Structure formats: C-alpha cells, structure tokens
Amino acid sequence: MPKKVLFYARYSTDRQNEVSIETQTELGKKFVADRGWTLCGVYSDSAISGTSFTSRPGIQQLLAHVKREQIDVVLCVNVDRLSRDVEHTSKILKDLNFHDCAIWTVEAGRAVTDMELHMRSTMSHELVEQGRTRTREGMKTAVRKGKATTCLSYGYKLSQQRDANGDRLKGLREIDPVKAEIVRGIFKDYVDGVSPAAIAQNLNDLGIPGARTKYWRDTTIRGSVTDGTGILNNSLYVGKVVWNKQKFRKDPTTERRTSRANDRDEWEFRDEPKLRIISDELWERAKQRQAESREEYDRHSTNRLNATHRPEYLLSRMLQCAECGGPYAISGKDRYSCTNRKKRLPIDELDGECCTNSKTITRHELEERVLNCLPVAFYSVDIFDRISKKMIAHEVAKLKSAPSRKAQVEAELAKIKAAQTSLMQQIQDRHAEGRPRLALLDDQLDELEAKREELARELATVEEPAVDFQGKIEKLKAQFNPANIEIGIRKLIFLARNNADEAVKQRLMPIVRDLIQTVVIGKTPGHQPASLQVHGDIAHIMASMDAIDVMQQQFFAAAQNDLMTRMASGEIDTEAKKNKLIEAYIDELSRKLPEWENLQVSVVAGAGFEPAAFRL
C-alpha cells in the first residue's frame, strides 16, 4: 500500500520569493511520484524564520492534518526547512512520533532518525547564534571606525568618498543639506512651542516626504526620550554617536522581537563633529521643553493607568483594523473605532489614501463576543496546568524581585551617580571646546548632589527584615494549583459575561492576553455587527480541533453559563430542577450533533508573522 505523504516547504526572509517555495514543492512532488506514494497535501510558510513555531501557520496546519488523518510521512527538502530551533524540533518530532509519522528529506532520500534530527537542529541553532554574534561584533567595529551600522538617520546620506582604487568606501555618511535644514526647522519649531503633531501636519502640507515613510507622524518627531528614538532625541544631530543602547530578543511566547535596555557600560560612544546639524544651545532648549512637558503632564494627568502604560480595559492595545492595520481605540463613550480613520492619516499600504473602515463597536459588545469564545480554549487538556505554572512563576518573580528599601535606595544612588558623570562629561567637553559654561548644567548638578547626600544618609539607617521566601512559594503553589485555577477561571468568565463586572475583567486580563494576541476588526455590509478575527494561542487550539469538537465545547460553555445564571437567580433551587435542565441540555445536544458532522472549523492564516486566526 503506497505511503500517504504531506510535503512542507519554507523560505526564511522577504529577500527571497515564492519561487523558492515552488522549487521545493516540485522537488517534493517528483520524490513522491518516483516512489509511487500518495501526496495528501502541501503546506508552506513564506518569509518566516525557521526559529519561529507558533507564528508559522503552515507547520501548524500540517500538524493538525497529521492529527485528524493517518499520515505515514512528512517530507521536506531538508530538515532545516522544518525547524532551526532545538525546542521546536523536539516538539514537532514528539507530535509526529505519537501519530506514527516519519520524517523524510529529499536531500537524504530516506527517513531521518531521531538522533540525526536532533543533531541537525542543534547545529542549525548554533549557526543562528554564531551569526548573531558575528553580526553584532561587526557592527561594533564599524561604529568605532565611524561608519553607519543600520539605516541612516534622517538628515544624512551615504558619503561618496572613494579609496585609491576608485571604489566607494562603504558605511561612511555625510550631512544631506536639504534634510538637515528640515531637521533644524523641526527643532526650532519645537522650542518655539509648536507641538510634534502640528509640526508633522505642516511637513505633510508642504509635501515633504517623511523620514521612513511617505508621510510624517508626530511619533516620528517626538519618539522616546528614554530609548533615544525620534528626531528630537537623536544625539547624532549634535555630533555624538551612541550605539548599543538596547538589544533585541524574541519573546518565546509571542515570538515577537522585543527590545531591552543595555547597561550603560555596554554603550559605545564616539564624537563625530563633522556630522553635527544643530547647536548645543538649540539641543538644550529642546531637552528643557521636553522636561517641562513631562512635568506638566504629570501635574495634570488624572488617569494613572495611562501614566504607567497599563491597559485600562480587557482588550486595550490588542485591537487592530482589518483594512489599514492601525489600532482600534476608544473614540466615544465606550465605543471603539479605527484611530487612523479618525485622524484621517494617509496610509502607505493604501497608496496614500485614508482608511475607510468606519465600523465601530461598543466595548461591552466586543468584550462579550471575545469572552464567549474563550471557553473553547479549555478543550486543550493542559491549559490549566500551563496557566497555573505561569501564574506561580509570575507571583514568585514578583516576590523575589520586590525590591527592599535598601535595594531601592542603592538603585536610585546609582542612577544619580550616572547622571552626575554624564553632566560632568558635558561640562568638560564644553570647556575643552572653548564654549561658555551653561548655568543650567550647574544647577542640575547641584540638585543631583543634594539628592545624593539625602539618599546616602537614608542608606546608612536602613535595616532589612528576614523573609521566608520558601514558605511563601509553597503557599503560592498550593493556592494556584490547576484545579483551583480551573474553578477560578470559569467563575471569573461567568461573572465577567453576565454581570459585566469591571474588577473581574481586570483579573481576567492576564488569562485573556495569554490566549489571545490580536483581535482584528473589519467592515461588514450595512448595520451588521463588525467582523472579528482572533489571533493567538486559542487559534492554534481551534486549528487542531475538528469542527464537531469546537461546536461541542461552545455548547458546553453556553449550557454551563445558562445553568449558573438560573441558579444565581433562584430559578433552579432544587436538585430535581437541576437534573431536569441537564437532561434538556443532553436532548438538545443529541439533536445538534448530526448538524455538526459536516461542518469545518473557520480557521485562516494571519498576515505576515501573525499566527493562525479564527473568526467570531
């Protein structure tokens, strides 16, 4: 009997193209045909790294296919196409072994043994890490030679200097006179009181192309003072290169690239006077206005949740417009709408047109629809174990990381000393360059010294109480065991759905954000409710389920919710009434099962690096 085969193809970056997938697929089809096997399906992932797993819809769909149908062989050109991560390779191998499915490669022309697969994935993983290290060291060397390591900052262009052979010296940059004048104008307008939003609007009205895209945004100008991003925070404009302020890591849960600040002693500094665009005086005035703006905001901000950047509502900062990809946010009384459409911002992906997604949705309707789908995730047998472990780890981390007063004081002292060192360096630099001393810098230095002396006195008197960490950890494990977690979550969902209890929704937030990554809101005809498409782990659970399982789980969740509502209202007040209602549920389920047998789960692949999704 011929073997039943699934073929998998993948290419890594957008520098490649679909031809790579076609070539791999042709090789796979020929391999299958030469052996007289049966090709049951072809799955692929385009422009996605082999170090990802959950964000590859193709591999997820392949594994789901293996689960629902007996497959003998999963075939790929080589094992690197399957995965370049040790942990993910082990996961794939375990799933396929459980279903008696072998891994073959066109390259080897045979089945791949477990040992070979593990060795190959380990080598691939190591090559990826070595590549990252070499790239970083190469960038560090380039910085020390005065060369650009990434894309050029706005206001500069590649230098056309050439060596003795006439070849252009790569990585060198010089000031772009036209763009430099725009940078000076931005700084001058800002210190004169014009807001970043108004500056961006003026630049767009003049038809001046943006720094990275066709249009200017206020965030491009404002940026982040802490991270040193944005036009107003780029120290290169005063001739100072600062590199390696942050590093990037892929979050193993979301598989998204996240940034982390590096310690100051890891930063690379270099003076480049020839790249100066604005004066120190203009730079200092801009910094002073930024400080005044932050103080003004702190005095008048009444929403402390915004000040700390914590999500206010259950789905805050998780909502996305299906048309333009922009965020959905509260625009009226508890009603979400597309931010880009409201601001009438031109979108590059729409050829400079504004978003036309006028569909709005109330917060309560949106949250209700999302919460209604949440119980389906409980089909995954290990969901409560996973949440239990995460909650324990989170609480233990908080317990261990909760700083003592002594640690807080020491940290504050370290920050003050670093700030003093920076100010002293600026004063010394100005003196060496023959420029006048700024009173503003002296005043800041005096303030820091007074604060340092106050903290030093407090540090000398701080006493640390003994803490029984192990005992607290054991209590946490007993409190957050999987059984308690399941009872607690089901109760929270019931209260959040039926009573719209905001406090309960806040407690549900970590669980929702663990299962759901993004909710995409799209247009529908007329007055129909907005379409919702959910991305995240819950979509992968759905993708691995048969349609009848999904419908059953939704039915069970609805029945349980109905039962708890009737019991809470007093309608069901005896065991006999409860049993009668349960029998009615069973009868209804038996009538619906035949209707569900021919259904298919509506699971779609997300765009780009988004994982699988499903529609509500």
Is pLDDT of 476 > 90? no
**Quick one: pLDDT at residue 535?**
83
Span 390-449, pLDDT tens digits:
766 766 666 665 556 777 788 888 888 888 888 888 888 788 888 887 787 788 888 888
Those residues with Cβ within 8 angstroms of residue 486's Cβ, 6 or more apart along the chain or in another chain: 378, 384
Angle of helix 482-498 relative to helix 547-569, nearest 10 degrees? 70
Mean pLDDT within 213-240: 85
Q: From CA 580, how far away is CA 45, in angstroms rounded? A: 51
Average pLDDT of the chain, as a whole number = 78
Q: From CA 423, how far away is CA 265, in angstroms rounded? A: 16
Mean pLDDT within 537-552: 63
**Quick one: pLDDT at residue 316?**
84
Residue 4 pLDDT level (bands cut at 50, 70, 90): very high
Handedness of CA 453, 458, 461, 463 (dihedral sign): negative
**C-alpha count within 13 angstroms, C-beta hemisphere, residue 246:** 11
Please indicate whether residue 264 or residue 306 has the higher confidence score (pLDDT). Answer: 264
Residue 612 pLDDT level (bands cut at 50, 70, 90): very low
In one-letter notation, the amino acid at residue 375 is P
**Quick one: pLDDT at residue 391?**
67
Instruction: Region of 223 please: left (phi>0), alpha (psi -120 to 50) or beta.
Output: left
Q: Which has the closest alpha carbon to 49: 5, 85, 99, 74? A: 85
Contact of 375 with 554, CB cutoff 8 Å: yes
**Quick one: pLDDT at residue 608?**
31
Tokens 């000393």 locate to 417
**Quick one: pLDDT at residue 310?**
46
What are the start-end ranges of the H helices in 194-245? 196-205, 218-222
**Quick one: pLDDT at residue 99?**
92
**Reported pTM:** 0.42
Tell me how far CA of residue 429 lies from CA of 273, 288, 425, 594, in angstroms. Answer: 12, 20, 6, 81
Rounded to the nearest angstrom, the gap between the alpha carbon of residue 222 and the centroid of all alpha carbons in its chain is 22
Is pLDDT of 528 > 80? yes
**Quick one: pLDDT at residue 273?**
86
How does DSSP assign 17-71, residue by residue? -HHHHHHHHHHHHHHHHHTT-EEEEEEEESS--TT-STT-HHHHHHHHHHHHS--
Tell me how far CA of residue 456 lies from CA of 446, 461, 464, in angstroms. Answer: 15, 9, 16
Query: What does residue 486 show for φ and ψ, rounded to 5 degrees?
Result: -60, -45
Span 495-512, pLDDT tens digits:
666 555 677 677 777 777
Is pLDDT of 56 > 80? yes
Tokens 């390779």 locate to 89
Query: What does residue 140 show for φ and ψ, rounded to 5 degrees?
Result: -60, -45
Span 584-609, pLDDT tens digits:
877 777 777 665 555 444 444 333 33
Contact of 53 with 88, CB cutoff 8 Å: yes
Residue 319 pLDDT level (bands cut at 50, 70, 90): very high
Residue 488 pLDDT level (bands cut at 50, 70, 90): low
Is pLDDT of 10 > 70? yes
Q: From CA 122, how far away is CA 128, in angstroms rounded? A: 10
**Quick one: pLDDT at residue 559?**
77
Percent of the chain with pLDDT over 70: 76
Is pLDDT of 378 > 70? no
Rounded to the nearest angstrom, the gap between the alpha carbon of residue 253 and the centroid of all alpha carbons in its chain is 10
Q: Which has the closest alpha carbon to 236: 289, 177, 174? A: 174
Mean pLDDT within 471-486: 68
Tokens 């109480």 locate to 465
**Quick one: pLDDT at residue 181?**
92
Q: Which has the closest alpha carbon to 603: 553, 544, 556? A: 544
**Quick one: pLDDT at residue 303?**
46
Q: What are the strands, taking DSSP E only, across 355-421?
A: 361-362
**Quick one: pLDDT at residue 604?**
41
Tell me how far CA of residue 575 lies from CA of 47, 494, 604, in angstroms. Answer: 58, 21, 44
Q: From CA 208, how far away is CA 18, in angstroms rounded? A: 35
Q: From CA 117, how far away is CA 82, in angstroms rounded? A: 10
Residue 304 pLDDT level (bands cut at 50, 70, 90): very low
